[in-house]
A and B are shown apart, each in its own frame.
Chain A
Amino acid sequence: AQSVTQLGSHVSVSEGALVLLRCNYSSSVPPYLFWYVQYPNQGLQLLLKYTSAATLVKGINGFEAEFKKSETSFHLTKPSAHMSDAAEYFCAVTQGSNFGNEKLTFGTGTRLTIIP
């Protein structure tokens, strides 16, 4: 079984400040981890992914995340928030078995608000 927990359903940061969105995972096998972003009334867009290569993963729009096995965490960060970052962010986990039966298990999401 696998799961992710996103701490904080709402996060507000000032424009230009550090963005930190927290995600902790639980998985019985080495996980593949993902961050998706959902802008209002739009579908999910992949921000970045960890698939057992480098533990520090860089994504689009200046976001990055670090896989920490000892802490079972995969927190998302961005050094300087921009107004356009306001969206819902989802952490997700899967096993990466390549058998086609992967289930992406999503967290409950974190709404990021940027304060001008």
Chain B
Amino acid sequence: DTAVSQTPKYLVTQMGNDKSIKCEQNLGHDTMYWYKQDSKKFLKIMFSYNNKELIINETVPNRFSPKSPDKAHLNLHINSLELGDSAVYFCASSHLTSAHLQYFGPGTRLTVL
């Protein structure tokens, strides 16, 4: 009965590879987010989607491409991985009308070697 789930939990890969992280929520929310937490624990929003439409797109390299097949899923695809992409990526979800109240997934720790 996990509310917001992410797969994989850990991802270790080589520079230059392409990888995806998946996120699913079963809360019936219509808005989903991706956050990046760097090695200093600083959390910053990357993207948000509402009903499969992009509504927040922070200054993120275009190697990062979110994809929302439906409002319960928001996947993050990263091309040409770089060392600086190593971080923990968190997915979150909310209702549009309560977008300040976000529920977070457990995170995916990405390590780029």
Chain A residues engaging chain B, CB cutoff 8 angstroms: 32, 34, 36, 41-46, 49, 51, 88, 90, 94-104, 106, 108-109
Contacts and interface: CB of A to CB of B under 8 A. Distances in A.
Given A101-B56, A103-B56, A45 B43 contact: no
B66 interface: no
B35 to A, nearest CB: 8
Interface string B41-84: 11111001010000110100000000000000000000000000
Contacts of B97: 98, 100
A45 to B, nearest CB: 7
A100 B106 contact: no
Nearest to A92: B43
Nearest to B49: A100
B43 A102 contact: no
A98 B22 CA distance: 26
A94 B99 CA distance: 9
B24 to A, nearest CB: 14
B100 to A, nearest CB: 5
Contacts of A104: 45, 100, 102
Interface residues of B, number: 26
Given A96-B100, A109-B42, 14 more contacts: A36-B104, A43-B90, A43-B104, A44-B43, A46-B103, A90-B43, A94-B99, A94-B100, A99-B96, A100-B50, A103-B45, A103-B58, A106-B44, A109-B43
A100 B48 CA distance: 9
B31 interface: yes
Contacts of A49: 100-101
Contacts of B106: 42-43
Given A106-B42, A109-B41, A100 B107 contact: no
Residue among A46, A97, A103 with most chain B CB within 10 A? A103
Residue among B45, B99, B103, B105 with most chain A CB within 10 A? B99
A20 to B, nearest CB: 20
B98 A98 contact: yes
Contacts of A88: 41
